[in-house]
């Protein structure tokens, strides 16, 4: 099916085609770990780690640590990463000999030698000294490389949220490459578009709110003097968020973009999650003429939309026929 056939299909047909051609994942190989982050984080602690190797396997590790930190207090800044923590100013709950609770603070970002006993106590009771003394079988640099890689996996959730934006930019580069008539911008606001491309993107802001919406992508067609506004997302699972997003984009189109002659709106969405949220997406098809998925982008739909006039999109769209 090409774009014209898609737009002129009955809404139920469009919806079925959208559902039948979804990708199962948007996770590129770079999703799994950001090696640049790992290396950058390592660079800030590598010298300290090489110095702290002095403590590995030592019998009198607490005493030696106290002497080492007294001479070089900045080494304390490397301790949190040995515990696989990004948190540096740590509040600690402890118990005294009578079993009573109390708390103390160890701020590794700004080492305070007047509280060195607290740092030593924390490292001892966290098990770090025992680990360094008895269990570590490699250098601290090698160990922390593994820790940094493990911590970076915690960022996968955030990377998952931006994967479609990365994919979108790659497609926008491809669409506009060697075409002097087209320009693109990611994370574009209406204010930026007006200032740089002199096209007004209408926005309806809630009372009392300032600023405007930041769109995932925008493409200027200079010959048409039009702009294509793009929002993109991917959902691996269902949930109430999908219903909210479908309602949000439907409202955005109805209240702000539908009657803007120089503004086209495309919602690129994908993922298995829509299988559990069919109704909200089907309702969105009643409102938004151009909802496509990654397979359709791959098939050239987005490039055609950017070069198709808004009037033609409206005339072809099943939304305007039924």
pLDDT, position 322: 43
Residues 6+ apart with CB under 8 A from 252: 213, 265
Given a cut of 60, whether residue 128 has pLDDT beyond it is yes
**Mean pLDDT score of the chain, rounded to an integer?**
88
Q: Are residues 212 and 80 in the same domain?
A: no
Residues 8 and 42 in one domain: no
**What is the residue range of 280's domain?**
3-25+178-320
In a domain, 78, yes or no: yes
* CATH code of the domain in which 225 resides: 3.40.1350
Is 118 inside any structural domain? yes
Q: Which of 99, 124, 155 represents a domain boundary (last residue)?
A: 155
Say yes or no: 21 and 59 in one domain. no
Number of domains in the chain: 2
pLDDT score recorded for residue 211? 60
Q: How far apart are CA 51 and CA 210, in angstroms?
A: 51
Instruction: Tell me whether residue 134 is in a domain.
Output: yes
Q: Domain check: are 205 and 254 in the same one? A: yes
- Residue 109: strand, helix, or coil: coil
Residues 141 and 198 in one domain: no
Asked if residue 187 and residue 108 are part of one domain, the reply reads no
Q: Are residues 106 and 196 in the same domain?
A: no
Candidates 274, 265, 279; CA nearest to 310 is: 265
Confidence of residue 50 (pLDDT cuts 50, 70, 90): very high
The verdict on 126 and 189 lying in the same domain is no
pLDDT digits (tens, 9 = 90+) for 270-299: 999 999 999 999 999 999 999 999 999 999
User: Tens digits of per-residue pLDDT, 149-195?
Assistant: 887 766 666 555 577 788 889 999 999 999 999 999 999 999 999 99
Report field, pTM of the whole predicted structure over 0.85 = no
- Which of residues 155, 170, 188 is at a domain's end? 155
Q: For residue 277, what is the DSSP state?
A: -
Residue 167 forms part of a structural domain = no
Structure tokens at 169: 């930019």
CA distances from 131 to 52, 103, 143, 213 (A): 13, 24, 12, 50
How much is the average pLDDT of 223-242? 90
In a domain, 166, yes or no: no
Looking at per-residue confidence, does 31 or 189 come out higher?
Answer: 189
Residues 190 and 282 in one domain: yes
Give 186's strand partners. Answer: 217
Nearest to 188 by CA among 228, 155, 226, 138: 228
Residue 170 lies in a domain: no
| 65 shares a domain with 16 | no
* Strand 263-270 relative to strand 291-292, pairing: parallel
- Per the DSSP assignment, residues forming a β-bridge with 182 are 221
């Amino acid at each position: 099916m090409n774009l014209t056939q898609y737009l002129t299909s009955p809404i139920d047909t469009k919806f079925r085609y959208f559902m039948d051609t979804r990708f199962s994942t948007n996770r590129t190989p770079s999703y799994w770990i950001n090696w640049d982050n790992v290396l950058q984080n390592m660079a800030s602690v590598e010298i300290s780690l090489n110095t702290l190797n002095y403590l590995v396997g030592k019998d009198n590790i607490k005493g030696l640590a106290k002497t080492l930190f007294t001479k070089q207090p900045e080494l304390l800044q490397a301790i949190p990463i040995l515990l696989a923590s990004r948190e540096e100013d740590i509040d600690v709950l402890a118990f005294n000999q009578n079993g009573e609770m109390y708390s103390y603070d160890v701020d590794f970002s700004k080492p305070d030698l007047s509280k060195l006993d607290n740092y030593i106590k924390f490292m001892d009771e966290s098990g770090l000294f025992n680990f360094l003394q008895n269990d570590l079988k490699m250098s601290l640099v090698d160990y922390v490389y593994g820790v940094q890689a493990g911590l970076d996996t915690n960022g996968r959730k955030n990377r998952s949220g931006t994967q479609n934006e990365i994919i979108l930019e790659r497609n926008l580069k491809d669409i506009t490459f060697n075409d002097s008539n087209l320009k693109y911008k990611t994370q574009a606001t209406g204010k930026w578009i007006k200032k740089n491309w002199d096209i007004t993107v209408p926005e309806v802001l809630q009372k009392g709110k300032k600023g405007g919406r930041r769109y995932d992508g925008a493409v200027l067609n200079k010959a048409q003097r039009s702009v294509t506004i793009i929002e993109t997302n991917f959902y691996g699972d269902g949930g109430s968020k999908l219903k909210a997003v479908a309602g949000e984009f439907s409202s955005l189109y109805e209240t702000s973009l539908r009657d803007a002659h120089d503004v086209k709106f495309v919602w690129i969405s994908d993922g298995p999650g829509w299988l559990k949220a069919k109704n909200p997406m089907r309702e969105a098809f009643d409102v938004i003429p151009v909802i496509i998925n990654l397979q359709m982008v791959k098939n050239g739909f987005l490039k055609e939309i950017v070069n198709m006039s808004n009037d033609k999109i409206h005339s072809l769209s099943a939304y305007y026929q039924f």
